[in-house]
Chains A and B, each alone.
Chain A
Amino acid sequence: MKKNISFIQGNEACVQGALYAGLDLFAGYPITPSTEITELLSIRLPQKGGYFMQMEDEIASMCAIIGASLTGCKVMTATSGPGFSLMQEALGYAVMTEIPCVIVNIQRGGPSTGNPTHVSQGDVNQARWGIHGDHSIITMTASNHQDVFSVTVDAFNLAETYRTPVILLFDEVIGHMREKLIIPEKDDIELIQRLKTTVSEGVDFRPYLPRDDGRIPMADFGGTHRHNVTGLFHDMWGFPSNNPKIVDGLIHHLVDKINNNINIIAKVKEFHIDDARTILISYGASARTARHVVENRRSRGERIGLLELITLWPFPSHIIREKCRNARFIIVVEMNFGQILKEVKTCIDKPEKVFLANRVDGVLITVQDIRTILRIVQ
């Protein structure tokens, strides 16, 4: 069988993944370096009878996808740093109201307008803590186009499974770089569809009552179950409440539904980890450089390996702790001031053996940058 191979940008790979996952509606606003996603979907979504909306800003984009998700659509928006900042309030609304949606952030240099056409991984903590209030959230990333495609599909699956926004945190190099993508055949990757309520009409429908397995079935707007959706703390009918028991129960539910499933959600990729004395931990475009260093040194017999993070949040602490138990040195390779470094240090028994190889000038981290740190610590 002829394989469906293309040579495309990472932004296009993300679009292919979203369409494969069954994207119905996209709302967005142009911003470098994510604009190709918006442009391409303005062509492709109308062709499949889906919905494309260019909104007046990123706030409206985030709000529009939440509204559409409530009618049963699979939805997505795409942006970069400044737009992602604008989306935070509505993102918090989606967390509170448990609306499945996917938000793509193609990271550029920040803060502010920053370095629009250059690479950065500075939004890692914003993805985790950008919205106000306690919460948990799923964030994933990728270092190559095949993974961009598959984590995009995963993002839609996780959004439906846990009724949550899922953030795809790619970076400018991944978004704009061209490389090969093999688009999987239909049904090669399992797609998770929305769980709809089976409660019949006229029976008391409780839109926020979890099933035994923790999933909460939904009822589409426009159907027979009319219910209320609010960003206020709410009871199982979706009506506002400030009863301390209800508030406590809901905030625990929102955090626990993700944190208690970290074993299922969290994914990392391993390269030569089993006997490694030096372990590099990286993700996104930096992981490409880190992998190059590891493969080079392995071929010369050095016991060095790479842990590539696919899931950034919830942070895969249990995997890092287990895999790094026997390592002498751990080098976190990233393009920020050590946002993942801090997480790694908190889950390693001896934080003093964790070091940072980073770059924050808008240039992709080089082999030389990592080599310099290795020379100092080894």
Chain B
Amino acid sequence: MPVQDYIRDRFFPHIWCPGCGHGIVLNGMLKAIEELGLSKNEIVMVSGIGCSSRISGYVDFHTLHTIHGRALAFASGVKMSRPELNLIIPMGDGDALAIGGNHFIHAARRNIDLTAIIMNNRIYGMTGGQFSPLSGHGIKASTAPYSTIDHDFDIMELAKSAGATFAARTTTFHIKEITSIIKKAILHEGFSVVEIMSQCPTYFGKQNKLGNSFEMMELFKKNTRKIGSNKKLENKNLIERGIFIQKELPEYTNEYSKMVKIAMGKKNER
């Protein structure tokens, strides 16, 4: 099925600014779904609030555009009652990890089979460029005119310690990696996290003098390296791309159905 068949074309053009990275993520994600041959009826896309969360409106799946930070909690309810469906949850960095941080670590801890895609542009775009928990130290933002004093955290480290059984990172420069990683994440049985570094030339780029979207994407190329490559030896500051965690652990809805079998056997005990 061509990628166009997965979108609701009457809602285009989309609301994203020229040069925004989110369209690249949408494209890469739809390619992954196409290559996996998933039917539109078996995909539920749940999103929160923010620029990234508008993705759910543009795709022809079952789509649930929820409230800020809570997409994973809504998605957990859908997945619990219909475990056979594929749940894909695109979120922004503020949505997933500031207001939604609690739901993120607990969905990871449960190892419920959801595919969380974090489009990390290190800024709140929809509200006009305020700093996010992923902005990091020394960044200019519309609520950090003297530059940020907060520190960021590493999504991969957080996902790992929270119990995610799949975690990977790539960038909008590495479009083929987006597709191959999302495919693996969807196929993974358990909670999977995909961080995609995405550019916001309108706010993050402009406020921090990083140039236009091409120049920002060029930085993704320059400042990252594949896990295992020896570039890191030359420059410790390079950000690693690739799959950080991929392991087997009992999945939540599978464990629940086992529990139901036990409970049904004990029906008359109380």
Residue ranges of A at the interface with B (Cβ–Cβ < 8 Å): 24-25, 27, 43, 46-47, 49, 51, 53, 55-57, 59-60, 63-73, 75, 89-90, 93, 221-224, 226-232, 239-240
Chain A residues contacting B44 (CB-CB under 8 Å) are 221-222
A56 close to B82 (CB less than 8 A) = no
Q: Knowing A68-B80, A71-B78, A89-B67, say if A55 contacts B266 (CB, 8 Å).
A: no
Decide if B264 is an interface residue (CB 8 Å cutoff): yes
A222 close to B42 (CB less than 8 A) = yes
Q: List which B101-126 residues lie within 8 A (CB) of chain A.
A: 102-103, 106
Decide if B170 is an interface residue (CB 8 Å cutoff): no
Closest residue of chain B to A230 (Cβ to Cβ) is B65
Q: Complex Cα distance A228/B66, Å?
A: 10
Question: Chain A interface: which of B16-24, B235-243, B255-263?
Answer: B255-263
Chain B residues contacting A93 (CB-CB under 8 Å) are 66-67
B74 close to A230 (CB less than 8 A) = no
B65 close to A60 (CB less than 8 A) = no
Closest residue of chain B to A61 (Cβ to Cβ) is B73
Closest residue of chain A to B49 (Cβ to Cβ) is A231
* Distance in Å: Cβ of A376 to nearest Cβ of chain B: 48
8 tightest Cβ-Cβ pairs between the two chains A and B: A67-B77, A64-B77, A46-B263, A63-B73, A60-B73, A56-B106, A230-B65, A68-B77
Q: Knowing A53-B76, A60-B76, A90-B67, say if A230 contacts B57 (CB, 8 Å).
A: yes
B264 close to A63 (CB less than 8 A) = no
Decide if B167 is an interface residue (CB 8 Å cutoff): no
Q: Complex Cα distance A231/B67, Å?
A: 7
Decide if B81 is an interface residue (CB 8 Å cutoff): yes
Decide if B188 is an interface residue (CB 8 Å cutoff): no
Q: Complex Cα distance A221/B86, Å?
A: 11
Q: List which B134-184 residues lie within 8 A (CB) of chain A.
A: none
A66 close to B103 (CB less than 8 A) = no
Closest residue of chain A to B84 (Cβ to Cβ) is A222
Q: Complex Cα distance A59/B264, Å?
A: 30
A67 close to B78 (CB less than 8 A) = yes
Q: Complex Cα distance A226/B80, Å?
A: 19
Decide if B88 is an interface residue (CB 8 Å cutoff): no
* Distance in Å: Cβ of A290 to nearest Cβ of chain B: 36
Q: Complex Cα distance A64/B80, Å?
A: 9
Chain A residues contacting B73 (CB-CB under 8 Å) are 55, 59-60, 63-64, 67
* Distance in Å: Cβ of B258 to nearest Cβ of chain A: 10
Chain B residues contacting A46 (CB-CB under 8 Å) are 256, 259-260, 262-264
Contact residue among B60, B74, B79 (Cβ-Cβ distance under 8 Å from A66) = B74
Contact residue among A27, A75, A226 (Cβ-Cβ distance under 8 Å from B60) = A226
Chain B residues contacting A229 (CB-CB under 8 Å) are 63-65
Closest residue of chain A to B256 (Cβ to Cβ) is A51
20 A-B pairs (CB sep. < 8 Å): A51-B80, A57-B102, A60-B70, A60-B73, A63-B70, A63-B76, A67-B73, A67-B76, A67-B77, A222-B42, A222-B62, A227-B63, A228-B64, A229-B65, A230-B57, A230-B65, A231-B67, A232-B65, A239-B11, A240-B57
B103 close to A228 (CB less than 8 A) = no
* Distance in Å: Cβ of A91 to nearest Cβ of chain B: 10
B263 close to A64 (CB less than 8 A) = no
B77 close to A53 (CB less than 8 A) = yes
* Distance in Å: Cβ of A18 to nearest Cβ of chain B: 16
A47 close to B264 (CB less than 8 A) = yes
Q: Knowing A46-B259, A68-B78, say if A224 contacts B41 (CB, 8 Å).
A: yes
Binary interface encoding of chain B residues 28-60 relative to chain A, with 1 for a CB under 8 A from any of its CBs, else 0: 000000000000111010100000000011001
Q: Complex Cα distance A25/B260, Å?
A: 13
B266 close to A47 (CB less than 8 A) = yes
